[in-house]
Chains A and B, each alone.
Chain A
Amino acid sequence: MALPPPLRISVTPAELELIASEQLVEIVPLVAMERTAFISGAYGPLRPPTKCKVPIWMATNLKLKKKCHIVPPDWLNVEFLQERLNRETSVPEFSELPFRFAEIAKVLLDVASDDVSNPDKIRSLLQDIREARQAKSRDGLSVLDHSELSLPNLSSMEINEIRPFFIRSMGILTKLVREPNPQQMNQLE
């Protein structure tokens, strides 16, 4: 919420990325560190070469200083994403993906592309998945109904995209349904 009020339509992607960086990811540390207390919690100890789970912000910091290797999460590989893409293009519902997959994937690919296998294939797969889901959410928006409120398997970035429009249109729809047009009622009678 760092933008001035007129521009504050919704959360920005950068803020979403920050929130997503709180999640834990596994790393292979190259330096040793004791169990240290940070604001969000205590992490460590780091004992190379055993793996350890730390928040993504810490993993990014260590990686940029060449003090760790990041182990990509199990969904960030070609087979998993390929399978999900196939499901996206065949079935009309949204396929199941981790809630913040877009942000986490972006951060990890930027910082640790050498730790991820086949990064350019993964980038293109992610792009395809995003386009497929975007098409689906566009279609879904055109059949908005005042009572349908379940949106299974949407990811946080996608929710953020449609949130302003969705909220306002749902508001108008509910108003329309609650008070049907008096002229219409007169005509019917």
Chain B
Amino acid sequence: MVYLPPPQFASASRPSYGETYAKILAAHRRSPATSASSVIILVAPDVDALCAAHMLAELFKQDDVMHRIIPVSGHAELERMRDELATFTDLHTLILLNMGAILDLPSSEWFGEFSTQLTVHVIDSSRPQNLASIFGIGEGGNRIVIWDDGGAENLQEERKAWEALAYEPEPDSDEEDSELDSEEDVEGDDDDEGEDDAYDGGSSSGKRRSLGDGGRPNGKRRRIQRRPSRMSKEDRAQYSSRLEKYYMSGTWHGQSACGTIYLLATVLERVDNDLLWLAILGLTHQYTTSRISRNDYDKYHSIYYDEVARLNPPPPASAANDYDFKSQHPDDTSVYAADELRFMMFRHWNLYDAMYHSSYVATRLGIWKERGRKRLTGLLAKMGFSIPETQQPYPHMAKDLKLSLRQKLDQIAPEYGLVELSYPSFTRCYGYRSQPLSACDAVEAVSALLDVAGGVRLEIEVEGARNGGEWFGGGRVWNIERDEGRKEGEHEHIPPGGATAGVKTVNAMGGEAGMDQANGEGQDLQWWIKNFWTAFDALGDIVRLREALSLAMALHKAIVRQGSSIIDKHDIRTLRGHRVVTITQGPDLALFAHPGVLSRLALWLVEALRDRLSGTSTAYSRSKRKSLPLVLACLNEKEGTYLVVGVMAALNFGDVRKNEFGLAFLDAKERCNARTRHGSFDTSVLEINKDDLKVFLETLCDGGER
């Protein structure tokens, strides 16, 4: 119930990151019951949280603090974890990464009932934050600590409003409470319901994020009720509307969790290249998934740019003009600042493919039509690249072409409308072990691992297999190489189901499918944990990361394939200002039943449609600004549900809008009594029973009849 200002606002009376970290260490060292479960880190499954967990683990390891990292996929999982954690007696520090900002943590539903020795730290980049967690002070005070990035300083108005409403309930507080309740009903950004039952009237009790009830015993409230000073009705209305505005304007993102931990490391004076690189990855992820705007990105980028200059030798002058870096010596692990083209992983693919699969270029040129593809080859031809040359994998491209690439792009691309082709970013060298890797490529690889490292069968391309390469048959099935290493010949000896579900082999596939149906949920839950740990390991191991690049490329191919077919078939319906797309068939249907992949498809589509469709403002949006709301639904055949993702894109490239779909979904769900489930921490992702989809979509788009 305390929020930590960032170090620049810290003073003697307001402890900041460094002091809090010292407190964690002190608690660890002094508590007699310290064991491996004393410090637990709960991590949400996204790249930013993963990098932050890595950084934090590194800091803890250097300080000899035993800790545990536990991945958590969504709110249901978090609740289950909370129940389990209640039984740990030696737990004294709990750190939540990229989750929990919106939850009313001091309430008894979450951590209000835990012992006073427990401190909960919330490092979350999603906004809005729950005001009770930030401003509330209750019994066992200061147990919840929210690590803030300075945004809470601007919430003074909201603070006043919240405190007024929290501490001065009126005798007719029943009405007030119900007013507050009804507001929060629609606010709820997080809930998880039972899977089968229709979710109806129980909504208010289940979802109540009661502002006024947080942490206050009933006796005190009754006493306050008799206080003579009462707020006038206008004041109350004003305060409530203030809070409503804060909560209902949609979800957006603040500073990345990595950035917060990097600030901590700076305060502790323990930064080095590894931590810096991970922080850069977190920031790049936020930018490439359109969670922060270009301005925010530039702001953080300049900070990291200075850090890179501080910690690394200056890059050789020759490298400034091209995109080709070389490691200077075998131990070179330095980070360089370099401009990054918006082509998708162009250093690992051939040029044509990279441009084809990038959402920026592709959508400007319209590559889903034949005409657009001709324009692309035309652009390349104008720059002096012949078709066979562009089909060469980038490392094998002619050297003079590589050197002149940037110049030619600057000259010729604007003719085609590709003006903002590059943005400033970073690249890291790995000595002589591997080619330098750029930040966005690393982010692509890690998020591909997180999404689909296991659990989905994907075919990836083997280099050299195109155009009738050495080995016929262009692809091989993606296979996670484990350390225990199953050699090829042992595949027949694996019993059906396999000892580890992560190793997918062609022979064991049939057996595993059987096991899948038998275990159902058991297997399903396991894959994302394995993915999490695979991605976590890959962050430290460049070899695995590079292997994952091919997985990311296969994923992109699937996304572009699906996206092009959607646009081609004019599958996008417009319902009252919303664009709605439903995917019920296709070669990659099983792939798109994953929320991460579906979100990416949604982002790609939004980019594609940005120039072609005019903006609209939805009926329930708070602001009058126009935006492009897109709802994407994909059928999950196995479960008989639809996975629905809502994306709110801005009209201008590089801008972001607050995503109001979280609230809209809940609103619509209530009104049409659909059976839904929120599986992840992202409130704009929803799983809905397939019979309810049609009604749900219509209710959603009818929107805001309040």
Instruction: List chain A positions with a Cβ less than 8 A from chain B.
Output: 65-67, 113-114, 119-120
Contacts and interface: CB of A to CB of B under 8 A. Distances in A.
A120 B62 contact: no
Given A67-B62, A114-B331, 12 more contacts: A65-B61, A65-B62, A65-B63, A65-B64, A66-B62, A66-B270, A66-B272, A113-B331, A119-B331, A120-B329, A120-B330, A120-B331
Nearest to A118: B329
What 10 A-B pairs come out closest when comparing CB atoms? A65-B62, A113-B331, A120-B330, A66-B62, A120-B329, A66-B270, A119-B331, A66-B272, A120-B331, A67-B62
Contacts of A67: 62
8 contacts: A65-B61, A65-B62, A65-B64, A66-B62, A66-B270, A66-B272, A119-B331, A120-B329
B264 to A, nearest CB: 15
Contacts of A113: 331
A113 B61 CA distance: 21
Nearest to A114: B331
A119 B653 CA distance: 47
A29 to B, nearest CB: 14
Interface in B328-371: 329-331
Interface in B39-63: 61-63
A51 B235 CA distance: 66
DSSP class of A's interface residues: helix, strand, loop or mixed?
loop
A46 to B, nearest CB: 16
A38 to B, nearest CB: 16
Nearest to A65: B62
Interface residues of B, number: 9
Nearest to A62: B62
Contacts of A114: 331
Interface in B255-295: 270, 272
Interface of B: 61-64, 270, 272, 329-331
B353 to A, nearest CB: 36
B131 to A, nearest CB: 39
A78 to B, nearest CB: 14
A65 B64 CA distance: 9
Nearest to B64: A65
A126 B270 CA distance: 33
A123 B270 CA distance: 29
Contacts of B272: 66
Contacts of B330: 120
A46 B575 CA distance: 71
Nearest to B431: A120
Nearest to B432: A120
A114 B331 CA distance: 9
A114 B662 CA distance: 49
A65 B62 CA distance: 4
Contacts of B61: 65
A65 B272 CA distance: 12
Contacts of A66: 62, 270, 272
A66 B62 CA distance: 7
Contacts of B331: 113-114, 119-120
Nearest to A61: B64
A67 B61 CA distance: 12
A165 B329 CA distance: 40
A66 B269 CA distance: 11
B431 to A, nearest CB: 10
A20 B270 CA distance: 30
A42 to B, nearest CB: 21
Nearest to A113: B331
Nearest to B271: A66
A117 to B, nearest CB: 12
Contacts of A65: 61-64
B186 to A, nearest CB: 49
A106 B291 CA distance: 46
A66 B271 CA distance: 10
B360 to A, nearest CB: 39
A89 to B, nearest CB: 25
A114 B333 CA distance: 11
A8 to B, nearest CB: 29
A19 B270 CA distance: 31
A114 B329 CA distance: 12
A93 B64 CA distance: 48
Nearest to A67: B62
Nearest to B62: A65
Contacts of B329: 120
A112 to B, nearest CB: 11
Nearest to B61: A65
A120 B64 CA distance: 32
A61 to B, nearest CB: 10
Nearest to A123: B330
Nearest to A109: B331
A48 B331 CA distance: 27
Contacts of B64: 65
Contacts of B62: 65-67
A120 B102 CA distance: 52
A65 B61 CA distance: 7
Nearest to B333: A114
Contacts of A120: 329-331
Nearest to B58: A66
Contacts of B63: 65
A131 B331 CA distance: 24
Contacts of B270: 66
B374 to A, nearest CB: 50
A101 B576 CA distance: 78
A122 B62 CA distance: 29
A170 B330 CA distance: 44
B178 to A, nearest CB: 56
B226 to A, nearest CB: 57
A66 B272 CA distance: 9
B434 to A, nearest CB: 17
B109 to A, nearest CB: 40
A101 to B, nearest CB: 21
A113 B330 CA distance: 11
A96 B539 CA distance: 45
B9 to A, nearest CB: 27
A86 B663 CA distance: 77
A1 to B, nearest CB: 29
Contacts of A119: 331
A120 B272 CA distance: 22
A119 B61 CA distance: 27
B266 to A, nearest CB: 14
A134 B330 CA distance: 26
A69 to B, nearest CB: 12
A65 B329 CA distance: 24
A95 to B, nearest CB: 27
A120 B432 CA distance: 12
B540 to A, nearest CB: 14
A65 B65 CA distance: 12
Nearest to A64: B62
A67 B63 CA distance: 10
Nearest to B330: A120
Nearest to A121: B329
Nearest to B270: A66
A67 B270 CA distance: 9
A76 to B, nearest CB: 16
A34 B654 CA distance: 54
A114 B62 CA distance: 18
A113 B64 CA distance: 23
A83 B665 CA distance: 76
